[in-house]
C-alpha cells in the first residue's frame, strides 16, 4: 500500500495509468483484467466522481476507485455502456430519406 504523505494530492495529480491508480490506492488488481479494461476503469472512476471531487479526501477517492475497479471486474465496458460506441443511439430518419419511389417503379 502507498504511504500517504501530506502532499498526496500532488502524487494523485501525477497518476497516469490505471495501474498507477491501483498502486496509489493500494488496490490489488488482476493484471489481465486491468490490461483489457484499463480505459473502462478510468472512465467509470471519472463517472463516479462528483462535480466537486476536489473536496474529497484520500479515503473517499480510494473508495470510488475501488468501486470502479470492482464494477468492471464483474462486468464489462459493453455491459456498462461506458463508451459512446456502446450506448444505444436513437436516430431519426425522415421517411422521405428512405429511397422514395423512383420514376417508373411499380409497387405490387
Yes or no: say if 62 and 45 are a contact pair by the CB < 8 Å rule.
no
Q: Which of the four pLDDT bands, split at 50, 70 and 90, describes residue 86? A: very low
Name the pTM for this structure: 0.67
Neighbour-count burial of 68, counting CB atoms closer than 10 A to its CB (0-12 exposed, 13-18 middle, 19+ buried):
buried
Least confident of 9-18, 26-35, 60-69, 88-97: 88-97
| Whether pLDDT at 68 is above 70 | yes
Write the pLDDT tens digit of every residue in 36-52: 888 889 988 999 999 98
Amino acid at each position: 500500500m502507498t504511504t500517504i504523505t501530506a502532499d498526496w494530492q500532488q502524487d494523485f495529480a501525477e497518476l497516469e495509468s490505471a495501474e498507477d491508480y491501483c498502486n496509489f490506492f493500494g488496490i490489488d488488481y488482476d493484471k489481465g483484467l486491468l490490461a483489457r479494461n484499463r480505459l473502462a476503469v478510468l472512465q467509470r472512476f471519472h463517472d463516479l466522481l462528483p462535480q466537486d471531487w476536489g473536496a474529497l479526501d484520500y479515503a473517499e477517492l480510494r473508495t470510488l476507485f475501488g468501486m470502479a475497479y470492482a464494477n468492471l471486474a464483474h462486468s464489462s465496458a459493453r455491459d456498462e455502456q461506458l463508451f459512446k460506441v456502446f450506448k444505444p443511439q436513437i436516430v431519426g430518419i425522415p421517411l422521405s430519406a428512405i429511397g422514395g419511389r423512383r420514376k417508373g417503379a411499380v409497387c405490387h
